[in-house]
């Protein structure tokens, strides 16, 4: 689900059909019911102009305890978190604490040169995967964070994958570095800044970057689930060696934000005003990056960009953690929003996204 361009092709093909082929109020209901029958566990929210048109939950908060999900349950967002990291960088820029084209070595000691913050934001840095390094060398009985990740990058210094700006390649390493740069530039903890600069001002009361201990204390936290050998869904944390969210549980930047669908809608709506940053700066987040050869890469600052949407500018992002699949889709020019949070690692949520998009344009 890294690229949703095929979604726009689907919607375009169906949008020319007569609306009589679809009962407007049934499109999403039927798709949601079918998803539940096929084992989907999660929350779907569809909104227009900030008004919720559809919000339902199906499945279990805990499969083992057979606790049913509710619409205000809290999920790990996985890589949907990257848009918050990018926002903190943009706020720092407006505060005069950094520039997008600053070299990374101005803030951090890394064994790579020629990489700018803009390269990190747009996944065009060419930096190697930190998770592979940690997986190979880290003692998984301990919990690592950004300082340890940076230390291992310096110690093992795997070669750069390509020259900065040469091409696009999704990089969690880049967003770990961005979080550390925000801390260096501001002199404050990244988690504290996320609360003070984003979550609290927007009234996102259920949203935070939580430690494993903090998550355990949240009664409505929807656990991620994976299937065991018998096909039963069990808490993903039980697969310790493969669940990097445990032994990389202190990392900041590429993930770890947990939230509700309703809080994400507050975030979505805040991007239409200048409560956090100016529209001029925000527009950079939604602008394709020009690679060294002059071609465009369609990833902005924490957002995937789709220039082919028949309904105007569409930006989105997916998330994928052990036991979780998440997505937010925004049709910016028409203020239409789709948010799906899943906690049993459904492989294909695109059918729900398709149904939600169709319902939005036939509501």
Catalytic amino acids? 79
Neighbours of 77 (CB within 10 A): 26
* Pairing verdict, β 336-342 and 75-76: unpaired
DSSP state string for 189-244 = -HHHHHIIIIITTTT-TT-EE--HHHHHT-TTB---EEE-TTS-EEEGGGSGGG-H
Chain Cα centroid distance, residue 144: 21
174 and 116 Cβ atoms separated by less than 8 Å: no
Give the single-character DSSP code of 238. G
List Cβ neighbours of 215 (8 Å cut-off, separation of 6 or more). 221, 258
C-beta of residue 338 within 8 angstroms of C-beta of residue 53: no
312 and 334 in contact (C-beta within 8 Å)? yes
Which tokens sit at 220? 């409505």
Burial environment of residue 14 by CB neighbours within 10 A (0 to 12, 13 to 18, 19 or more): middle
């Amino acid at each position: 689900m890294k690229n949703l361009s095929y979604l726009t092709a689907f919607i375009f093909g169906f949008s020319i059909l007569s609306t009589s082929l679809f009962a407007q109020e049934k499109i999403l209901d039927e798709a949601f019911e079918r998803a539940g029958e096929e084992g989907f566990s999660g929350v779907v929210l569809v909104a227009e102009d900030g008004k919720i048109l559809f919000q339902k939950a199906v499945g279990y908060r805990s499969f083992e305890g057979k606790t049913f999900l509710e619409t205000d349950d809290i999920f790990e967002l996985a890589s949907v978190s990257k848009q918050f990291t990018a926002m903190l960088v943009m706020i720092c820029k407006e505060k005069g604490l950094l520039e997008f084209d600053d070299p990374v070595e101005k803030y951090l000691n890394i064994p790579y040169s020629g990489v700018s913050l803009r390269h990190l934001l747009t996944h065009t840095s060419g930096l190697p995967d930190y998770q592979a390094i940690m997986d190979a060398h880290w003692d998984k009985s301990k919990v690592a964070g950004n300082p340890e990740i940076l230390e291992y990058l310096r110690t093992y210094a795997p070669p750069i994958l390509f020259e900065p700006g040469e091409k696009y390649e999704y990089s969690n390493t880049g967003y770990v570095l961005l979080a550390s740069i925000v801390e260096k530039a501001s002199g404050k903890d990244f988690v504290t800044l996320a609360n003070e600069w984003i979550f609290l001002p927007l009234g996102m009361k259920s949203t935070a970057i939580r430690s494993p201990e903090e998550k355990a204390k949240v009664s409505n936290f929807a656990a991620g689930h994976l299937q065991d050998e018998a096909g039963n869904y069990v808490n993903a944390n039980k697969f310790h060696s493969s669940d990097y969210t445990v032994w990389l549980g202190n990392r900041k930047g590429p993930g770890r934000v947990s939230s509700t669908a309703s809080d994400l809608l507050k975030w979505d709506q805040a991007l239409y005003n200048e409560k956090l940053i100016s529209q001029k700066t925000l527009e950079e987040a939604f602008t394709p990056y020009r690679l060294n050869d002059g071609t465009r890469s369609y990833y902005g600052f924490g957002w995937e960009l789709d220039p082919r949407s028949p309904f105007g500018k569409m930006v989105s992002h997916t998330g994928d953690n052990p036991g979780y699949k998440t997505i937010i889709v925004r049709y910016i020019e028409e203020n239409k929003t789709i948010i799906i949070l899943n906690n049993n690692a459904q492989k294909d949520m695109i059918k729900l996204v398709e149904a939600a998009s169709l319902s939005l344009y036939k509501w």
